[in-house]
């Protein structure tokens, strides 16, 4: 029995340690996770957002301070969040994350980049004393909700998609590197042709070109009108021909009558002379 009593103390300590570790590990974090689907929640209220990567040593050192700062979020009336840029490349492009970790403060849609010390106390003072008012907010042109940053987000997502499929082609399917590049080159060519056709179609619909319309075929009613000059010429020619024929006939008639009169006169002439004698 004595050995069993000696083991009671160490066993109790071990149980307490295990219970404390389980409680600490199972405690819900006060840091909210922001993704491409719910990032518009940042546009309302006051936020502190950390952009990090799991492999970044500086980000790993910051995590305990950030978790402790999040516990004060309810008292400070600020929401503490984080973004994993390896899982959310669209947000890293939307906020132009060039260094890790990067911290932003947001107040009712206005974003400011935090560049002060990275301790819990400094974060608390930054929010409670409103030190963020001394920082110039990000221009609306470069805000996460602008068209420019939305395009950058799509570009970053496309680059991550290309990297993922390149790894799939080379590692899983066993294609050579040049084969993967060939697939992407063909895809780029086809997509460029498709987009070009779409742009031409849209431009043609918005700004139609002035094309020569085909002349309509003349109708039956227009045929007599168009042929009237020709008919007039023909009629004039026919009239002239008729006049010439009549003149010719009249000339022939006068020529024929002249000899007959002469013959008559000749025949009549001696008889008249005889009577007179």
Q: How confident is the model at residue 121 (pLDDT cuts 50, 70, 90)?
A: very high
Residue range 222-231, pLDDT digits in tens: 445 555 566 6
Q: Which of 56, 106, 205, 207 is catalytic?
A: 56
Q: What does the alpha-carbon distance between residue 216 and residue 194 come to, in Å, rounded to a whole number?
A: 36
Nearest Cα to Cα of residue 156 among 109, 79, 216, 95: 95
Neighbours of 116 (CB within 10 A): 13
Give pLDDT tens digits for 124-158. 999 999 999 999 998 888 888 888 888 887 887 77
DSSP labels, 67-98: HHHHTTHHHHT-EEEEEETTT-HHHHHHTT--
Work out the pLDDT band at 179, boundaries 50, 70, 90. confident
Handedness of CA 167, 173, 176, 179 (dihedral sign): negative
CB 106 within 8 A of CB 47: yes
- Model's pTM, two decimal places? 0.57
Q: Determine whether 59 is an active site residue.
A: yes
Catalytic residue (choose from 59, 205, 207, 217): 59
């Amino acid at each position: 029995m004595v050995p069993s009593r000696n083991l009671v103390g160490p066993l109790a300590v071990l149980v307490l340690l295990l219970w404390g570790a389980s409680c600490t590990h199972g405690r819900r974090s006060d840091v909210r996770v922001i993704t491409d689907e719910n990032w518009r929640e940042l546009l309302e209220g006051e936020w502190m957002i950390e952009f990090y990567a799991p492999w970044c040593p500086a980000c790993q050192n910051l995590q305990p301070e950030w978790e402790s700062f999040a516990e004060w979020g309810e008292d400070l009336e600020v929401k503490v969040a984080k973004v994993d840029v390896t899982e959310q490349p669209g947000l890293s492009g939307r906020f132009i994350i060039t260094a890790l970790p990067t911290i932003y403060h947001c107040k009712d849609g206005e974003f400011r980049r935090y560049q002060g010390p990275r301790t819990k106390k400094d974060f608390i003072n930054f929010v409670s004393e409103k030190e963020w008012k001394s920082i110039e907010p990000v221009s609306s042109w470069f805000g996460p909700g602008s068209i420019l940053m939305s395009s950058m987000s799509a570009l970053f997502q496309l680059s991550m998609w290309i990297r993922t499929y390149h790894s799939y082609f080379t590692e899983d399917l066993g294609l050579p590197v040049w084969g993967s590049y060939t697939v992407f080159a063909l895809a780029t060519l086809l997509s460029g042709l498709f987009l070009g056709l779409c742009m031409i179609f849209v431009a043609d619909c918005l700004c139609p070109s002035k094309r020569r319309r085909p002349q309509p075929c003349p109708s039956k009613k227009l045929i007599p009108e168009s042929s009237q000059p020709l008919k007039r010429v023909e009629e004039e020619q026919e009239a002239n021909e008729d006049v010439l024929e009549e003149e010719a006939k009249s000339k022939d008639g006068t020529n024929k009558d002249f000899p007959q009169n002469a013959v008559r006169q000749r025949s009549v002439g001696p008889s008249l002379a005889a009577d007179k004698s």
